[in-house]
Homo-oligomer: A and B are copies of this chain.
Amino acid sequence: MAESFTERFQQLCREKNLAVTHQRLVIYREVMQMHNHPSPEQVYDRVKPELPSISLATVYKTLHTFVETGLIREVSPHHGSMRIEPNEHRHPHFLCLQCRAITDLSDHELDFAALKASVPAGFQVEHVSTEVRGICGNCLAKNAAQAPN
């Protein structure tokens, strides 16, 4: 028989070593139903009716926990501080999720035509950017030094 959403969430949490709390369940359920890239504030507003006593801080902490364990993803890992691109010509970036450093990647040819074709009619395209996220060499080395196995 089909397992319930709750059972699936409990299973997920067990895999990730997370305590199953009512707040986490509700936040996860609601986020999965919001198909428009919500901010923490918007998630808070959404769960508030069901969890009237929840704190915004809990929403932040829970979202971070989910991102860290991979239950959800962040659309933009570099908010928080504006970053300037002095370089004129088009090139992709590598963004380190640990130290936030941005590294220019050498130019390459993506299929921009196909990409632009996927933009809804009536939208005005201004710039296309590609980004690779991960952990940079520096951080990997640092991590290895700290936790040798």
A118:B102 contact, CB within 8 angstroms: no
Per-residue B-contact encoding for A57-88, CB less than 8 Å = 1, 0 else: 00000010000000011111011111111110
Residue of B nearest to A143 (CB): B124
| A118 partner, pick from B108, B111, B126, beta carbons under 8 A | B108
Q: In the complex, what's the smallest C-beta–C-beta distance from A107 to chain B, in angstroms? A: 8
Can you sample 9 A-B contacts with CB below 8 Å? A74-B83, A79-B83, A110-B114, A115-B130, A119-B132, A121-B137, A122-B137, A122-B140, A126-B135
Interface residues of A (CB under 8 A from B): 31-41, 43, 63, 72-76, 78-87, 92-94, 97, 101-111, 114-137, 140-141
